[in-house]
């Protein structure tokens, strides 16, 4: 089925082609067929978008000057508009990214909830008074940053764009959003929803384009006051350097190598189900994937048996297959990278318990069988690097101390899972794990209300929760001398 949704840039409330007419071609990863042609922003288009956002973010601008309760009403209207567009967005996301409609539906629902959550905050941002010496009134108020840029990856194109957009808007900022050039379509539905919700012109600007051109122009733009970046650690480091040229603040949501730790007293059926979901959801293309399964040696074989059984029962399917439970990878080159990781694992001594090949029965599409590697040690490439595919590396441990040591021995620190029926083990591990998020007896899980982000090279700052309100505001201290 052809794509008939929005394909142009959205700047200052207008749909427009790129200044030099350049476009991006997208393909459906499940069929390898062309899917859509989308405008690709130039640096000049980025200038236009930042100017429009800047005007709306000014003190007398259309967004910042609104009463907070009106801003809240607009964000509730935006949530309603996204909800109304949900079926369309799910279909587009499935074709553009390859994820199953079930998974795309979860993403859209999460965005609706996120907009509603932050709509609630728009008129509840308060400051504080500070007790200082003498006859003075000293207070701190939180002010918007101005223009926030949102650069999103291809693995959760719609959900991750909305995750930072909603709090930024609630705090009175305006936005320029650049989706990945591999999945540019669903972001345009934020523009569609903003129009339907009556959001003033210039508040939400969407500029699909490449990272090297549009992305670089955004990050290096002196009119941008904050960059909310979600993507790989390597690109994130480059963006931090580029943003530093204008001393622009950043939020960095980067890669991960999550340990999912199964202690011997865990409910093994639940743990195996969580291990499966934690690596094969979204075909393993998840920052928070539980890609290292740490299993106590006493229950190792029983867990592997269950996980392999689940992996082999997983049906592969495209965005339009109702029975698909795992979609394709995003592209041929990414599939080749993941296959190379599997080979590296085998070369370094891991054992292939299941999977490892392209399925025979799928025809076209960038599918890989759900793959489980056993006999992995934590120094192997498959245990150290983010594979970003449906490849689970199983590592055995002998006791609690060894489990924590292996889990923390990683450059990343995004999410860790713990499976146990013992409260002391659960809370002890939660305290001992160097991760921004720890989930006990389910994996992975997050909510708009809870902070999302990582320790170490998994990032800086937090999205979601009240923590994101601090990311998108700046403190102003006011001292008033009351003497005389
Ligand atoms: P990526 O290659 O780092 O790209 C992310 C975004 O940055 C894309 O929009 C990309 O545009 C853009 N970009 C690339 N180079 C740029 C530059 N020089 N200046 C400005 N923007 C630039 O990441 P990805 O492959 O899309 O996503 C996968 C990665 O994201 C994984 O490492 C994953 O762990 C991480 N991730 C983290 C989280 C989290 O919350 N911590 C969530 C999801 C994903 P183009 O695509 O057009 O190049």
pLDDT at 326: 93
For residue 2, name the pLDDT band (cuts at 50, 70, 90).
confident
Q: What are phi and psi of 216, to 5 degrees?
A: -65, -40
Bridge partners (DSSP) listed for residue 139: 129, 478
Cα–Cα distance for residue pair 289/314, rounded to 1 Å: 17
Output the pLDDT for position 324.
59
Copy the structure tokens of residue 4: 């008939």
Closest C-alpha among 411, 418, 417 to residue 458: 411
Could you count the other beta carbons within 10 Å of the beta carbon of residue 474? 16
Token reading at 210: 């490449």
| CB 436 near ligand 1, within 6 Å | no
Interatomic CA distance for residues 380 and 196, integer angstroms? 51
Q: Is residue 321 pLDDT above 60, yes or no?
A: no
DSSP 187: T
Annotated catalytic residue within 287, 369, 386, 463: 287
Would the CB of 285 count as within 6 Å of ligand 1? no
**277, 280, 282, 287 alpha-carbon torsion, rounded to 10°:** 80
Pocket test for ligand 1, best of 235, 238, 415 (most atoms within 8 A of CB): 235
Integer Cα distance of 186 and 9 in angstroms:
12
Q: Is residue 146 left, alpha or beta, with left meaning phi > 0 and alpha meaning psi from -120 to 50?
A: left
DSSP code string of 329-383: -S-HHHHHHHHHHHHHHHHTT-EEEE--S--TT--SS-----EEEES--TTSHHH
Probe ligand 1: pick from 26, 214, 231, 255, max atoms within 8 Å of CB?
Answer: 231
**Mean pLDDT computed over every residue of the chain:** 97
pLDDT band at 361 (very low <50, low <70, confident <90, very high): confident
| Domain regions of the chain by residue span | 9-254+458-478, 259-448
Measured from the Cβ of residue 135, the count of other Cβ atoms closer than 10 Å reads 10
Q: What is the DSSP string of 387-418?
A: --SSEEEEEEESSHHHHHHHHH-SSEESEEEE
Query: Are the C-beta atoms of 374 and 359 separated by less than 8 Å?
Result: no
Region 69-75: what's the mean pLDDT? 98
Atom 42, ligand 1: which residue's CA is nearest?
Answer: 287
Question: Which residue's CA is minimally distant from atom 22 of ligand 1?
Answer: 211
Question: Ligand 1: does its nearest atom lie under 6 Å from the Cβ of 181?
Answer: yes
Whether cis (ω within 30° of 0) applies to the bond prior to 444 is yes
184-211 per-position pLDDT tens digit: 999 999 999 999 999 999 999 999 999 9
Answer yes or no: is the C-beta of 231 below 6 A from any ligand 1 atom: yes
Catalytic residue among 253, 369, 463, 471: 253
12 and 201 Cβ atoms separated by less than 8 Å: yes
Q: Which CATH architecture has domain 259-448?
A: 3-Layer(aba) Sandwich (3.40)
HEC secondary structure over 251-301: EEECCCCCEEEECCCCCHHHHHHHHHHHHHHHHHCCCCCCCEEEEECCCHH
What H or E segment, with its residue span, contains residue 131? none
Residue 288 CB less than 6 A away from ligand 1: no
Ligand 1 atom 9: the closest Cα is on which residue? 180
Residue 273 Cα, ligand 1 centroid: separation in angstroms? Answer: 29
Q: How far is the CA of 153 from the centre of ligand 1 (A)?
A: 4
Q: Go through the chain and tell me how many residues it has.
A: 484
Active site residue 287: yes
- pLDDT of residue 318 exceeding 90, the answer is no
Handedness of CA 336, 338, 339, 340 (dihedral sign): positive
Q: Residue 430: which H helix or E strand, with range?
A: helix 423-432
Q: Is the CB of 459 under 6 A from ligand 1?
A: yes
CATH superfamily assigned to domain 9-254+458-478: Aldehyde Dehydrogenase; Chain A, domain 1 (3.40.605.10)
Stretch 403-407: mean pLDDT: 99
Q: What is the pLDDT of residues 223-256, one digit of tens each?
A: 999 999 999 999 999 999 999 999 999 999 999 9
CA distances for 396 relative to 102, 405, 409, angstroms: 33, 12, 14
pLDDT at residue 322 tops 80:
no
**C-beta of 416 in contact with ligand 1 (< 6 A):** no
436 near 414, Cβ under 8 Å?
yes
Quote the ligand 1 centre to 177 CA distance (angstroms). Answer: 13
State the pLDDT at residue 52. Answer: 98
Q: What's the CA-to-centroid distance between 219 and ligand 1, angstroms?
A: 13
């Amino acid at each position: 089925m052809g794509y008939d949704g929005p394909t142009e840039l959205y700047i200052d409330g207008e749909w427009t082609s790129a200044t030099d007419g350049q476009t991006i071609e997208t393909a459906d990863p499940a069929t390898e067929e062309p899917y859509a042609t989308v405008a690709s922003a130039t640096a000049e288009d980025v200038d236009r978008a930042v100017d429009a956002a800047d005007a709306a973010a000014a003190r007398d601008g259309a967004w910042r000057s609104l009463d907070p309760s009106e801003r809240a009403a607009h964000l509730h209207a935006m949530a309603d508009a996204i909800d109304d567009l949900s079926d369309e967005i799910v279909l587009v996301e499935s074709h553009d990214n390859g994820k199953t409609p079930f998974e795309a539906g979860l993403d859209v629902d999460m965005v609706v909830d996120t907009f509603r959550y932050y709509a609630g905050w728009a008129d509840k941002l308060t400051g504080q008074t500070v007790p200082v010496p003498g006859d003075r009134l000293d207070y701190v108020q939180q002010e918007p940053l101005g223009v926030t840029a949102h650069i999103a990856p291809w693995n959760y194109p719609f959900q991750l764009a909305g995750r930072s957009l909603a709090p930024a808007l609630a705090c009175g900022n305006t936005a320029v959003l650049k989706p990945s050039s591999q999945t540019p379509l669903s972001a345009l539905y934020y523009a569609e929803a903003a129009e339907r919700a009556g959001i003033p012109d210039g508040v939400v600007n969407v500029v699909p384009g490449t990272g090297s051109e549009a992305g670089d122009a955004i990050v290096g733009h002196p009119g941008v006051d904050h960059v909310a970046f979600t993507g790989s650690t390597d690109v994130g480091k480059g963006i931090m350097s580029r943003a530093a040229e204008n001393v622009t603040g950043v939020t960095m949501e980067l890669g991960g190598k999550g340990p999912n730790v199964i202690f011997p007293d865990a409910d093994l059926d639940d743990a195996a189900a969580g291990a499966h979901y934690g690596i094969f959801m979204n075909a393993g293309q998840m920052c928070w994937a539980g890609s290292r399964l740490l299993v106590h040696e006493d229950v190792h074989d029983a867990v592997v048996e269950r996980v392999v059984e689940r992996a082999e029962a997983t049906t592969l399917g495209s965005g339009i297959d109702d029975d698909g439970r795992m979609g394709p990878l995003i592209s041929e080159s990414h599939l080749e990278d993941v296959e190379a990781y599997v080979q590296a694992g085998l070369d370094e001594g891991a054992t292939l318990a299941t999977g490892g090949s392209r399925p025979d029965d799928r025809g076209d599409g960038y599918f890989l069988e759900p793959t489980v590697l056993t006999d992995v040690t934590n120094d192997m490439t498959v245990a150290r690097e983010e594979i970003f595919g449906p490849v689970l590396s199983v590592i055995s441990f002998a006791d609690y101390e060894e489990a924590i040591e292996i889990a923390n021995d990683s450059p990343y620190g995004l999410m860790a899972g713990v499976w146990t029926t013992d409260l002391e083990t659960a809370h002890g591990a939660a305290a001992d794990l160097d991760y921004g998020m720890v989930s006990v007896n389910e994996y992975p899980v997050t909510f708009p209300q809870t902070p999302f982000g990582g320790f170490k090279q998994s990032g800086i700052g937090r999205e979601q929760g009240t923590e994101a309100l601090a990311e998108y505001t700046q403190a102003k201290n006011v001292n008033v001398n009351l003497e005389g």
